[in-house]
Structure 1
Amino acid sequence: MTAGKSADPSFPREQGDLSRQLDNALGQACVGVGDPGVQAVLMKEGRLVWSSRRGMAISQSATPVTDHSLFYYGSIGKLVIATFVLHQAEAGVLDLDKAISHFVGEEVAGSDLVTVRMLLTHTSGYPDAYADPAVPAVAPRLPPSYGDSRSYDPNRVWTFAMVNNGIRDPVEPGAHFAYLNCGYFLLGRVLSKTVGGDEALKRAIRRFVRRADAVEPMTEKLFTMERSRRALRRFAHGYELLADGSLLDYFTAYGAQGIPTEMYGLPFTDSAFAGTALAGAQFLDALFARQRLLQRETVEAMISPTPQATCDGSRSDPLASTCTFGMGTRRIMAGGRTWQGHTGSWIGFSAIGATDMERGVTLFVMTNRNTSEYRPASVIWEQLAETCAASAT
């Protein structure tokens, strides 16, 4: 099943040609990665240029993906958190170069050695907290370094303290780049402390993302931190492709009584959000094209590559290159164009969204499929990005 649309009837005939080209590219790319459930959106400066959905949100019940099916954003949530942190810095609530002990006290190991900027830029030096034996398994079938996966419980009630038990003293803070989740997990604690607690943080983020309203309001219908029964009714199940070619349903295989509790929401501010492709596209469009979320100079600082994340430019895969990272965002090359955004993946889900800032074009793709070899959303996104780059959009 596939459906596409152009939201603005004033677009010229060339826009219809682009929509047909994108529909064709989406179909070809999806077939090549096993035809997952997909949402894809193309925006330009607040306008919906094209959108499409395809495949099944829940395979067992043959429930098709709709425009309002919820998917998991994964690490794209880091971009949202980074943007909110920088907004707080613009407001004078946070100083990026202050030690986090100023905000969280001594409850976090090494808090007097690590700054907010280090957390934003993956240079804090913290070891991987999720791999520490003191932290329960956050997912099934992870590598042995992540502890005994038999302890995985999709219904476990997580707290900040549970993950904080695995945060150890940082090694050479500020000296090296290492992409890890626990830095953004700690940013969530910093934010919670500065705004008045977890519930206050959720309210503050909900208010902030409403600045990105464009095609549809950024309400809980499109963008959420809540693992509610209402969200579950609209959520696409995540599927992993197994070696024998069968699909494993991440939502049902391990006894989850609702949305798996480690998937998103607090305290997991390294991957705190779920929503639709339209919501993700609206957020990126507001940040990088319409500039409704941060001041121009703040955006420039945000996208500037982290000095510690250097490389010789010889790597052929831009998504694997560390030298593309800024603060919560990364530079992506596709179709001969430079895009700014982020990727995300977890068991059963993959996503990618980015903006061609020169042209004000944002492309966002979400799927409910993931494999150990590749990220289906990235494969689809790159083919769509090449199609966009060849047009005059």
Structure 2
Amino acid sequence: MIKGLRLAVPLLALSIVTGVPGIPQASAAAPRNSGNPVAAALDRAFAKAAAKAGDPGVQAVVIRDGRLIWSANSGKAVDDPPAPVTDSTMFCFASFGKMILGTYALRQVERGTLALDKPISAYIGKEVPGSNVVTLRMLLTHTAGYPDLYADPKTAPLFAGGAHYDPNRPYTFAMLAKGIREPVDPGKRYDYSNTGFIILARVLSKTAGGDEAFERALRLFLQRAGSQTGNLLTAERSQDAFHRFAHGYSVESSGKLSDFFTAFGATGIPTDLYGLPFGDGMFAGTALGGARFLNALYTRKELLRPGTVKQMITPSPQSVALGDTYGMATYSITVGGRAWQGHSGAYGGFTSRGATDMARGVTLMVVTNREGEDSAADKIWEELAKAYASTTH
């Protein structure tokens, strides 16, 4: 959820993921990754990249053909009082969640609940401007043309830095709707839009029968991805999660870190960090939770039909015209000579990147609690992708 692009620890604490159902436990006495050249290369790349990124709090995992083959944690989940990142630490996924929400939307198309090319007025009436022209396909491909509501004078003051920002007050769609303006040339061009995904979440909520029914339906959908508990992947806000949540840190121009949780007086998880009505960044969880979702979608193909997955990953004509690879809520990048399909995200001091090498059934997910001029997750992810490619066929 990029709403405008928007301590250091001297030693990295690497650890095999433990305590997660269905994952074999490593022997405590065994040296880490001894005799495993792939894992050893990933260890080295992780340590180097995390240090270069300023030693943020990080979780990283690699899954191959459904099996966890490598993982690492490092840095602090919370700077003050200090707490380390563990296997169970939760992170905001930000815009990585667009792919999760988009997958759920495409499942509703498969079921016949929604249609890709029908105006969204069929589902939400005249609730938003342009609903009689904009379609689900336009929302998923960022071609609807909605201006950024976070920059609109009616809604900008409601967010961090604004005069009316209150991180303890729940947001509603009605609050955000005040900043939704008429779309510009809907369907004509690709223009990355957070507003479009907020509207998408509203469409999905209305067709599900309301927010609570939508959250229940999402919970059942995520069970199919092997992320059946809110400990791994969730769109539901819970005060219980606060004690496992990393704080998000933004790097100020002076180099000082700003804690997104405490800088504005939040008494728990800031209410704009994830969950409804924020369809542009609705999910939170662990790197393992994100990786399991990717694996279920792109490797096992258990969330959507193969034909739907093909539609999803095919870049839209409008995206191709700009030299981009964005399809429906996902895009591809080439790193280490290999094509990876997924999404990234940045918001509230958090960054994420997760993607799958569909040709080899390999998924790599990185989440961090450090946001600056460059994405810490992107940097670490790319170094890990290169290391994996260099040591495998």
- State the TM-score, normalized to the length of structure 2: 0.91
Q: State the Cα distance separating 1:281 from its structure 2 match.
A: 0.2
1:189 paired residue number: 202
Structure 2: which amino acid aligns with 1:80? I
Q: Which of 231, 236, 239 pairs up with 2:241?
A: 231
**Corresponding position of 1:329:** 330
Deviation at 1:227, TM superposition (A): 2.6
Residue 392 (structure 1) shift: 2.0
Counterpart CA distance in 1 for 2:261 and 2:337 is 38
State the match for 1:281 in structure 2.
291
* Alignment CA distance shift 1:15-1:164 (3 Å): farther
Q: Which of 226, 249, 255 is the matching residue for 2:259?
A: 249
Gaps of 5+ in 2: 1-11, 18-22, 27-32
Checking the alignment, whether the CA contact within 8 Å between 1:138 and 1:262 is kept in structure 2 is no
Q: Aligned equivalents of 1:310 and 1:96: distance in 2?
A: 20
Give the CA deviation at 1:310.
2.6
1:2 to 10, 13, 27: 13
**SS at the partner of 1:57?**
strand
Partners of 1:57 and 1:31 lie apart in 2 by 16
CA distance in 2, matches of 1:31, 1:43: 23
The structure 1 segments of at least 4 consecutive aligned residues displaced by more than 6 Å after TM superposition are: none
The 3-state SS of whatever aligns with 1:2 is: coil
Aligned equivalent of 1:101? 121
Equivalent-residue separation in structure 2 for 1:67 and 1:333 (angstroms): 28
Structure 1 residue 84 corresponds to structure 2 residue 95: no
Look up the SS of the partner of 1:51 in the other structure: strand
How do 1:139-288 and structure 2 match up within 5 A?
139-141=159-161, 149-213=162-226, 217-288=227-298
The DSSP-based 3-state class of the residue aligned with 1:118 is helix
Residues 4 and 23, structure 1, Cα contact 8 Å, conserved in 2 = no
Instruction: Report how far residue 136 of structure 1 moved.
Output: 4.4
Corresponding residue SS for 1:157: coil
State whether residues 4 and 19 of structure 1, in contact with CA within 8 Å, keep that contact through their aligned partners in structure 2. Answer: no
Cα deviation digits, residues 337-367 of structure 1 (max 9, x gap): 1000000001311000000000000000000
Q: 302-311 or 277-286, which moves further after superposition?
A: 302-311
Q: Provide, for residues 235-261 of structure 1, a one-character-per-residue CA deviation record: whole Å limited to 9, x for no partner.
A: 000111223322111100110111111
Distance 1:138 1:352, change over 3 A: farther
Q: TM-score, normalised by structure 1?
A: 0.91
AA in 1 matched with 2:191: A
Match status 1:382 vs 2:375: no
In 2, distance between residues paired with 1:308 and 1:338? 21
Give, in whole Å, the separation in 2 of the partners of 1:279 and 1:287.
13
Structure 2 Cα separation of the partners of residues 207 and 361 of structure 1: 25
SS in 2 for 1:201: helix
**Mapping 1:308-347, distance limit 5 Å:** 308-311=318-321, 323-347=324-348
Where structure 1 has 5 or more consecutive residues not aligned to the other structure, the ranges are 142-148, 314-322
Deviations 1:154-213 (A, max 9, x none): 123211111111111111110111001011111111111111110000010110011111
Contact 1:25–1:384 (Cα < 8 Å) also in 2: yes
Distance in structure 2 (CA, Å) of the matches to 1:14 and 1:312 = 46
Write the deviation string for residues 140-165 of structure 1: whole angstroms up to 9, x where unpaired.
24xxxxxxx23322123211111111
- In the alignment, structure 1 residue 294 sits paired with structure 2 residue 304: yes
Aligned 8 A contact 2:34 2:40 in 1? no
Q: Per-residue CA shift, 1:99-155, capped at 9, x if unaligned? A: 0000000111110010111001100011112211121435324xxxxxxx2332212
8 Å CA contact 2:149–2:156 kept in 1: the answer is: no
In the alignment, the residues of structure 2 paired with residue 29 and residue 281 of structure 1 have an alpha-carbon distance, to the nearest angstrom, of 20
Range moving further from structure 2, 26-35 or 163-172: 163-172
SS at match of 2:319: coil
Residue 137 of structure 1: SS of its match in structure 2?
Answer: helix
Q: Is the 8 A contact 1:222 1:276 kept in 2?
A: yes
Shift of 1:218: 2.8
